[in-house]
Structure 1
């Protein structure tokens, strides 16, 4: 155990890489989720078809396979990515597909009366979405998005397979050099748990802030968010 504790600088470096992967992958996933999620609510059948193609393809494809494809297969046809770029792209595309369904479900969960009130105020479709629908939908998106960010963080453990020195990669190095298997993996288990709890705390703070801005009771917002998550999961 002492050898593992002495190697804490390596673990901290690995944890920082894991945090970077989580932040960058989440940012990409958020952009994709908003773009394709809103596409799923469009009137045009062609635009909705884009949503279905993206969601069904990337939700049905393993992140590890995507990662191998970007890092090992595409260089054979002349497209080369750095390990970090390949990892972020794979994680973002996969989680973004799940996030797109969260966005679509949240927008549709906004009460119909809100749409009708926006129409009565003579707002354009873009104004209705930006000023009325999206602010309310965001409150429903945050809890499921928080879960997806944590899933992305945990899924980043596989990036060690494409030579990225994340937390899992550092743990394997420490295990090989010290021979300590039990305490090495206890240490990274604790670190992954701590990172997940920090992410969860940040999401809850964001939820409370949005609830205050919208004048909603937190309990009611969470119940509606759980209903959206159940609809998306179904």
Structure 2
């Protein structure tokens, strides 16, 4: 393990790049997920059809091939990207396609009575979606979104194939120079596991934070204190 401790600055540089790719790709993934997911719920086929094509194409093709396409093939058509941009774009679009189905499925599973009540009250579709359906769907979206985020984190190792100097790239470089395969890749496994664990804890905290029953419990507690206060009065 001496080779690992001696090269901590190199691995730290790679870890910083990995965290940067994860953050940028996650932001893109969330944007794509809600954009494509809501588009698939549209009643207009001209909006729904392109979203469906996007989701099926990016779910049905390999992530690494998509990354190679952005980095190696698009320059042949005059579109050049930096390695970081190609990696983030491929990760965000690919994982966003999976997450879009989470958004679509979760919102579609809301009780039909809520939509009917909104229609009866004259609430327009956009406001209905923004103020009622999406806020109620977020607690149900969080667990599967957490799985997508962990998968995205692990897939950041693929950006090393397009010469992004991430943690995996630096570890491979270190292994080539030193020949210490076991220690270096064991360290890599531990780091990715620790990062995945931190993401899982974050998602669990968000689940508790946005849980519907938590808010209901606080409301019940408030009513109880109000009633007790009234009795004392």
Indicate whether the TM-score tops 0.5.
yes
How far the C-alpha of 1:213 sits from its partner, in A, is 8.6
Matches of residues 61-72 of structure 1 in structure 2 within 5 Å? 61-72=61-72
Give SS of 2:211's match: helix
- The answer as to whether partners of 1:4 and 1:178 remain within 8 angstroms in 2 is no
Matches of residues 1-234 of structure 1 in structure 2 within 5 Å? 1-211=1-211, 215=215
Instruction: Report Cα offsets for 1:105-129 as digits up to 9, x if no partner.
Output: 0101111122122223321111111
Change in CA separation of 1:212 and 1:105 when aligned onto 2, cut-off 3 Å: closer
Structure 1 distance, partners of 2:153, 2:72, is 22
Q: Which aligned runs of 4 or more in structure 1 are off by greater than 4 angstroms?
A: none
Backbone CA RMSD of aligned residues = 1.5
Partner residue, 2:227? none
Structure 1 distance, partners of 2:213, 2:54, is 33
Partner residue, 1:228? none
Unmatched 5+ stretches in structure 2: 218-233
Structure 2 distance, partners of 1:41, 1:104, is 7
Instruction: Report Cα offsets for 1:60-83 as digits up to 9, x if no partner.
Output: 111111111111111122211000
- The answer as to whether partners of 2:208 and 2:214 remain within 8 angstroms in 1 is no
Structure 1 distance, partners of 2:207, 2:181, is 39
- The answer as to whether partners of 1:14 and 1:168 remain within 8 angstroms in 2 is yes
Instruction: Report Cα offsets for 1:166-225 as digits up to 9, x if no partner.
Output: 1111111111222210000000100000111111111111111111697258xxxxxxxx
Structure 1 distance, partners of 2:127, 2:214, is 17
- The answer as to whether partners of 2:106 and 2:140 remain within 8 angstroms in 1 is yes
Structure 2 distance, partners of 1:213, 1:47, is 35
Structure 2 distance, partners of 1:33, 1:117, is 27
Unmatched 5+ stretches in structure 1: 218-234
How far the C-alpha of 1:12 sits from its partner, in A, is 1.6
- The answer as to whether partners of 1:14 and 1:170 remain within 8 angstroms in 2 is yes
How far the C-alpha of 1:3 sits from its partner, in A, is 1.3
Quick check: 179-188 or 14-23, which moved more? 14-23
How far the C-alpha of 1:23 sits from its partner, in A, is 0.9
Partner residue, 2:228? none
- The answer as to whether partners of 1:136 and 1:214 remain within 8 angstroms in 2 is no
